[in-house]
Chain A
Amino acid sequence: MTSASDPVIDATRLVKTYGRTRALDALDLRVRPGEVHGFLGPNGAGKSTTLRVLLGLIRPTSGTARVFGLDPWREPVRTHQNIAYVPGDVSLWPSLSGGEVIDLLTGLRGGSEERLRRELIDEFEFDPRRKARTYSKGNRQKVALIAAFARPAQLYLLDEPSAGLDPVMESVFRRQVRRVSDDGATVLLSSHILSEVEQLCDRVTIIRSGRTVESGTLAELRHLKLTHFRIEGTDAGLLAALPRVQNVLTDGDLVEFDVDASDLATVLDVIAAARISGLSVSPPSLESLFLSHYGESKVL
Chain B
Amino acid sequence: MSGVRDLALIQARRDRVVLPVWILGIAVLAFAVAGAVATEFADEADRAAIVSMATASPAFLFIRGLPDGTGIGAVVFFQGYAFTAVLAALMSTFLVIRHTRTDEELGRAELIGSVPIPRAASLAATLILGSVVNLVLALSVAAGFALAGLRGVGVLTAGAAVGAVGVFFVAVAAAVAQVMPSGRSANGAAAGLVGVAYFLRGIGDAFGTSSADLTQVTSAWLSLLSPIGWGQRSRPFSVADPAPLLVLTGVAVALAVTVLGIRKGRDLGASLLVEPAGRARAGVGGDSFLGLAWRQQWPTLIGWCVFAALLGGIAGGLGPVVSDVMGGNDSLRELISRLVPGSRAEIIDVFITALLGIAGVLAAAAGIQAVLRLRAEEAEGRAELLLSTSRSKARWLGANLLLAAASAVVVAVAAGTAATVGLAFSGVVNDPPGLLVAAALAHVPAAGVFTAAAAVLFAAVPSLSIPLGWGMLAGGLVLGQFGELLGLPAWLQDVSPFRHSAAMPVEPFDLTAALVMSVIALAGAGAAVYLFRRRGLTV
- Contacts from A to B (Cβ < 8 Å): 52, 55, 57-59, 76-77, 80-81, 83, 85, 87, 89-100, 103-111, 128-131, 133-134, 144, 157
Contacts and interface: CB of A to CB of B under 8 A. Distances in A.
B277 A130 contact: yes
Interface of B: 105, 182, 184, 275, 277-283, 286-289, 291-292, 295-296, 299, 380-382, 384-393, 535-538
A116 to B, nearest CB: 15
A131 B278 contact: yes
Contacts of A91: 380-382, 385
A93 B295 contact: yes
B388 A100 contact: no
12 contacts: A52-B537, A81-B390, A85-B388, A95-B295, A96-B278, A104-B286, A105-B385, A105-B389, A107-B287, A108-B288, A108-B386, A109-B390
B468 to A, nearest CB: 21
A130 B388 contact: no
A129 B282 CA distance: 10
Contacts of B296: 93, 95
B182 A77 contact: no
Given A93-B295, A106-B287, 12 more contacts: A52-B536, A76-B387, A80-B388, A92-B382, A93-B382, A99-B280, A100-B278, A103-B281, A104-B287, A108-B390, A128-B280, A144-B385
Contacts of A108: 287-289, 386, 389-391
Nearest to A110: B390
A108 to B, nearest CB: 4
Contacts of B275: 130-131, 134
B457 to A, nearest CB: 20
Contacts of A109: 389-390
A70 to B, nearest CB: 12
A149 to B, nearest CB: 14
B167 to A, nearest CB: 31
Contacts of A106: 287
B279 A111 contact: no
Given A57-B388, A80-B390, A130-B278, A104 B381 contact: no
Nearest to B389: A108
A111 B280 CA distance: 16
A163 to B, nearest CB: 14
Nearest to B287: A107
Contacts of B392: 76-77
Contacts of B389: 80, 105, 108-109
A108 B275 CA distance: 28
**A-B pairs, 4 with minimum CB distance:** A107-B287, A97-B278, A58-B536, A103-B282
A85 B387 CA distance: 10
A199 to B, nearest CB: 26
A94 B182 CA distance: 11
Contacts of A89: 381
B388 A93 contact: no
Contacts of A77: 390-392
A107 B280 contact: no
B277 A87 contact: no
B384 A57 contact: yes
A57 to B, nearest CB: 5
Contacts of A92: 382
A71 to B, nearest CB: 14
Contact of B384 (A81, A87, A97, A99): A87
B288 A107 contact: yes
A21 B187 CA distance: 42
A85 B537 CA distance: 16
B279 A97 contact: yes
B182 A103 contact: no
A263 to B, nearest CB: 45
Nearest to A84: B388
B421 to A, nearest CB: 31
A15 to B, nearest CB: 14
Contacts of B289: 108
Nearest to B280: A99
Contacts of B105: 133
Contacts of B538: 58
Nearest to B394: A77
A129 B279 contact: yes
Nearest to A102: B282
